Amino acid sequence: MNAVAVRPVAEIASYHAHIYFEADSERSQALALRAAIADRFAVRLGTVWDRPVGPHSRAMYQVAFETGLFASFVPWLMLNAGGLSVLIHPNTRNMRRDHLDDGMWIGTPLALDGEILPEDGGAEEAGAPNTAPTLAP
C-alpha cells in the first residue's frame, strides 16, 4: 500500500455550516431554522444574504462553530434541515479546498464558484458566539 499524506485534524480551526434557501419560497423556513439554532447552540450566526454572495450560488447564511460542537450540532442539522441544502466545511488554511473538496452536504448539493477562493490563507476561528441558547439540542 502506498503511503498517503495524512492530514491531522488539528488543521481544522473551526467549521462553517452554510444554510441555503430559495429567497422567494424558503426564506421563512430558513429563518425559523436560524432561530431554532440560536435557541440551542452557542454559535456565531452570520448575515442573512438574500442573493448569491462569494462562492455561493444561492441565498444563504453562515453558521460558524467551534470544533467541539460538531458532534452535537451536525447531527441536529441532519434531523432539522427540513430539505434545505446545507454545506458543512472545515476551516483550514486553504479556503478553496475547504469548500470544494473537504466539505459535506445535508440535502441537495449546490454548485460553488470556488475559483474566487484563495488556496492559501489563515485558518479562520469560529469567533465569539452571538447566540444565547436556552434550550437543549
* Shortest reach from residue 47's CB to Zn ion, in Å: 12
Of residues 120 and 135, the one with the C-beta less far from Zn ion: 120
DSSP letters spanning 4-72: --PPPGGG--EEEEEEE--TTTTHHHHHHHHHHHHHH---EEEEEESS--TTBSS-EEEEEE-GGGHHH
Question: Which residues make up the interface to Zn ion (CB under 5 A)?
Answer: 16
* Shortest reach from residue 136's CB to Zn ion, in Å: 27
Of residues 13 and 136, the one with the C-beta less far from Zn ion: 13
Q: Do 74 and 19 contact (CB within 8 A), yes or no?
A: no
Of residues 40 and 61, the one with the C-beta less far from Zn ion: 61
User: Kindly report the CA angle at 57 between 44 and 99, in degrees rounded to 5?
Assistant: 60
* Shortest reach from residue 89's CB to Zn ion, in Å: 6
* Shortest reach from residue 34's CB to Zn ion, in Å: 16
* Shortest reach from residue 135's CB to Zn ion, in Å: 25
User: Kindly report the CA angle at 93 between 19 and 14, in degrees rounded to 5?
Assistant: 45
- Closest-by-Cβ residue to Zn ion is 16
Of residues 16 and 34, the one with the C-beta less far from Zn ion: 16
Of residues 38 and 95, the one with the C-beta less far from Zn ion: 95
